[in-house]
């Protein structure tokens, strides 16, 4: 089973690394990170640089794809972007096509979510709806062979759900135990409905600033 985690400059690391930790334990599976080009590729913080040894062109028929998110998805989720075109090309022959966080915007741009329920980071429901999807607040949404997950850390839940579908509950439970996934968050602020209003406003303000800075940077480069 060939599992390809599709990354791109400025993706959000945990979106990719959560599923990577879980899916690597699937029996008979090989996981790799793939991108438009070989070489070093940085995340949205920049401190994590990972080596890509396999390009999209070298990955024409993966069984499972995982598309992480990142603020940058708002800029790259359009036809013609290499990631979008690769997803469009490989999706017909995948057994599972999955996303974490705003990775679903990229699936949407590839035309995969029109008319389907899907989820994304809580800040991106409207953008997701723009691709014809019906955003839901569920943590993991399955529609046929497409599975979308909510923000960042939800990729762990999504990957365990996927393992259960592919290999059964025993294997998923074994992986959960191996990674001691018995979450005990010290605060209860993990969703917009649980967070205090002032915290929600703070995060919205910081996110808007971050997105504006990113857009300005890319406008300069263009």
The catalytic site residues sit at: 101
Cβ neighbors of 49 (< 8 A, separation 6 or more) are 40, 41, 42, 43
Q: Coil, strand, or helix at residue 152?
A: coil
**Shortest Å, Cβ 210 to its own copies:** 10
Residue 111: CB atoms within 10 Å: 14
Residue with tokens 């699937």: 26
197 part of the interface to its own copies, by CB under 8 A: no
65-89 burial, b for 16+ CB within 10 Å, e for fewer? bbbbbbbbbbbbbeeebbbbebbee
Q: How many residues does the chain have?
A: 222
Residues 35-64 that bind its own copies (CB under 8 A): 40, 45, 47-51, 53
143 part of the interface to its own copies, by CB under 8 A: no
Give the residue with the Cβ less far from its own copies, 30 or 79: 30
From 15-23, 60-68, 85-93, 107-115, give the range in contact with its own copies by CB under 8 A. Answer: 15-23
**Residues lying near its own copies in the complex (CB under 8 A):** 12-14, 17-18, 20-21, 24, 30-33, 40, 45, 47-51, 53, 101, 121-122, 139-140, 150-154, 156-157, 160-161, 164, 169-170, 172-174, 176-187, 189-192, 194-196, 198-200, 202-203, 206-207
């Amino acid at each position: 089973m060939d599992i390809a985690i599709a990354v791109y400059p400025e993706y959000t690391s945990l979106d990719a690394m959560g599923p990577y930790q879980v899916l690597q334990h699937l029996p008979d599976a090989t996981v790799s990170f793939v991108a438009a080009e070989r070489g070093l590729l940085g995340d949205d913080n920049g401190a994590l640089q990972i080596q890509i040894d396999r390009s999209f062109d070298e990955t024409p028929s993966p069984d499972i794809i995982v598309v992480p998110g990142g603020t940058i998805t708002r800029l790259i989720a359009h036809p013609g972007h290499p990631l979008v075109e690769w997803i469009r090309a490989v999706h017909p022959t995948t057994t599972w096509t999955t996303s974490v966080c705003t990775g679903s915007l990229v699936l949407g741009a590839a035309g995969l979510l029109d008319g389907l329920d899907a989820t994304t980071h809580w800040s991106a429901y409207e953008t997701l709806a723009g691709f014809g999807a019906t955003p839901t607040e569920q943590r993991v949404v399955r529609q046929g062979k497409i599975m979308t997950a909510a923000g960042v850390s939800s990729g762990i839940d999504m990957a365990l759900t996927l393992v259960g579908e592919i290999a059964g509950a025993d294997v998923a439970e074994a992986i959960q135990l191996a990674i001691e996934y018995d979450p005990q968050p010290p605060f209860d602020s993990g969703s917009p409905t649980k967070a205090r209003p002032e915290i929600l406003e703070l995060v919205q303000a910081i996110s808007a600033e971050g997105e504006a800075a990113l857009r300005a940077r890319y406008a300069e480069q263009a």
